[in-house]
Chains A and B, each alone.
Chain A
């Protein structure tokens, strides 16, 4: 059994890795001319911190994940950033990234367990279901008296789904203080800004009113700020409340013409746009798949 790479990479290595993952994202989406680059780019720092600093996992990957942390992606459309992270963390060969969204591949448009891709424990894509699944896993960890943490990421537009709030009530009622939900608060959804489409008012007040311990990360695209959010969130474990990180990110972060607009939610770059993006995504060390 091999243990995770947690805490073995330096800050500069993690910065390079972040750039590498951004390159993967735009190349994957360009390669098949479909997929969701905006939210993927905005969550790179979350995934890098999760898989390379905080998540405790072992190889070979198992569905049951006994005595290890678990991660569930609820907003499954940002699969490119997850697939890239998993490949770069060694869950599967990075050459497989070239099969994204292609026929007979395991890297489905939205993540699935159907094709046995290591790292994936639930299908997601139809929004609003991931917090419930993670809460179920958190109950299982409690029943097994494990110290492990269950993580889940959701979008902010996704919080318009009612099931999210069913799960929020449940997790607080059951005192699931081993559950850390992160909301990717990029303020955008397909049809436009969240505040315009279906405003959510104060998410911090909402989650606190539901009985959660909330912390706000205002710099969700800063590696160290996100790292600090994880550290703080983990320090809240075992205090009787589920934990929520309200992580403010910029959709499309890292590629200037994709940043801050809902227009790059689910649109692929053309050849010129890809090159323009890659020209911005350079570092000392990268090896494209």
Chain B
């Protein structure tokens, strides 16, 4: 087994949303201020245990997401730490104005926690596969935006958010994926996680694309290319120091995300690079299109979000660097 995959053995297979649900139960035990709100998707958000153990602090909102965001703002005003949960599409686009006014502008300590983000929602199709949520949320002043890579990181991020004052968006997903980050791996909001050091190209990645980038780094290494893998779990605030340190070494990057290439992590990185360290960049993401029905893996292949796409992008960006 070669270096990077050896560093990240698969510890099991679980969905990121289950990491959220387990952490919520833990938070329920630890912190009486924590409240969970859900809009008729308790099972999908893995909140059944929380509801059972803390019925007074579980608020079923029914299919009324706008009201749920307002309720969360009111609860936060009174000093609670509300976690408002639903699918990512309904947690962001549907309630953008409510989040903007009652949560972000009012600077409420509300955690908007969204499952089923991106293409990996699968068969339900494009109506539910939001690929714009990171962009929508990162544009809001003061909003912390986190997109986690596996079960353990989602668990850690959920716990971290309860101790972090201010509005936040936490994005995770539905598919069962490898757990590759150790349970005790530190998670610090706003601090990128350098998973693997390399010298030729930086793979800047977030969410489900982190695992793809680890595999891409392995394939690149076999081809004699040294790839650095930087997990940007916190989209906002962006860890500019980590990005700068990596790019000063590799001088080119591929940004990979399960999101539109417009508006997401790629745009953020491009903005920073253009201002600070001009360098060639390539982007792996959905290219200005909606998704469709299919299995998660079929969709990731069709829309070019697999390790092979990262490898190809790395080869392209290396040619541009050398030109």
Contact = CB atoms under 8 A, between A and B. Distances in A.
Contacts of B105: 112-114, 123
A62 B75 CA distance: 14
A137 B64 contact: no
Contacts of A128: 66
A133 B59 CA distance: 14
Interface in A140-172: 140-141, 143-144, 162-163, 166-167, 169-170
B75 A136 contact: yes
B78 A112 contact: no
Interface residues of A, number: 38
B107 interface: yes
A112 B98 contact: no
B184 interface: no
A63 B64 CA distance: 26
A15 interface: no
Interface string A113-142: 110000001111110111111111111110
Nearest to B71: A136
B69 to A, nearest CB: 7
A125 B70 CA distance: 14
B77 interface: yes
Nearest to A170: B67
Contacts of B106: 112-114, 122-123
B67 A123 contact: no
Contacts of B80: 140, 143
Contacts of A113: 105-107
Given A126-B97, A136-B71, A139-B71, A162 B66 contact: yes
Nearest to B105: A123
Given A129-B101, A169-B62, 8 more contacts: A64-B77, A112-B106, A123-B105, A126-B101, A131-B70, A135-B70, A135-B74, A144-B78
Interface of A: 63-66, 70, 72, 112-114, 121-126, 128-141, 143-144, 162-163, 166-167, 169-170, 173
